[in-house]
Amino acid sequence: WVASDGLTVIDFDSSRLADPALDVGYFLADWQFRHLAWRQARLEKMRESFLAGYAPGAPKERLTRARLYEAVELVKCAVRRVQVFEHDWASRTAGLVERAQVVINDLERILGLPVRICRRGHPLRASVSLTRVQSRRAGT
């Protein structure tokens, strides 16, 4: 519906009562999943542009919760949407988990908590080990 104060869209396929920050976090995670090859700086610029247009004047608490949902959704994408039979599944999975860690680090800074820095590439080594195990099971 179009009204004088803006546009309202209802997605009846998956409508439910939920925190509005969930939609924002889901969108940001989905965008990163679809543009995994983009560098972090480009993704941050996209995020800032999206929030400037979609959520101007949104409460700071909602945007903080959106970051948490974004991190959760990035991990869900790694688990549910990356197909194991794809040749680059290990690097895609590691990339999504690393992006989730970047979001968590950002949240820790926002909340004034000590930021835990993970060694870069650590998730990839775990994925590569899993690949070797699966290859051995398959007899290759």
Q: Which two tokens stand for residue 102?
A: 């970047």
Instruction: Evaluate whether 90 touches 124 at the Cβ level (below 8 Å).
Output: yes
Backbone φ and ψ of 7, nearest 5°:
-110, 140
Can you tell me the distance from the alpha carbon of 102 to that of 82, in angstroms, rounded to the nearest whole number? 19
Instruction: Evaluate whether 48 touches 41 at the Cβ level (below 8 Å).
Output: no
DSSP state, residue 118: P
Can you tell me the distance from the alpha carbon of 123 to that of 125, in angstroms, rounded to the nearest whole number? 5
Instruction: Evaluate whether 115 touches 105 at the Cβ level (below 8 Å).
Output: yes
Quick one: pLDDT at residue 119?
Answer: 55
37 pLDDT exceeds 70? yes
Higher-pLDDT residue of 118 and 101 is 101
Mean pLDDT, to the nearest integer, of 45-72? Answer: 92
All residues at 6 or more sequence positions from 17 whose CB lies less than 8 Å from its CB, including other chains = none
12 pLDDT exceeds 80? no
SS3 category, 104:
helix
